[in-house]
Structure 1
Amino acid sequence: MTEDQKIKAQALSRCRFLPGSNAKRFVRDMARLASEKPDQELTEKQRKYLDDLFHSYRRQIGRAYMETLGQTSLDL
């Protein structure tokens, strides 16, 4: 995982999801992967889904993580 992907996974792990949703399970797995196996690469589909979720939940993520990633606006 790249540093950006690790930050995105950790930021998403603080968001609220619908109970039992695929997104919740995926984010939980990615956050665990970022902490336990940081050198493991993500597949193309995992990268895309992580980016899509990050965009979808950008309001919950907040400005601090956006600035960490070098993005000045919440409108990705």
Structure 2
Amino acid sequence: MERFCKVISASLDERDKKLISLISEGYSNRKIGQHLHLAPSTIANRISRLLKDTGASNRAQLAAQSQQIIKA
């Protein structure tokens, strides 16, 4: 969790925070893309990067752990 916290706090920009917020609300890549005015493939790439950087194993884990840090 310590590695996760360091990566998240250092690497999240406002768009990533919004992306994670939309993931936690259950939005699909397509809906997130529409909301952020980005292609679904761009959303998928950003999510993949966040998963790799944080060590989260899936979208749900990424959203849950990130929300704790964003709210802190």
TM-score bucket of the superposed structures, by smaller chain: 0.3 to 0.5
TM-score by length of 1: 0.35
TM-score by length of 2: 0.37
Q: Which has the higher helix share?
A: 2
- Bigger Rg over Cα: 1
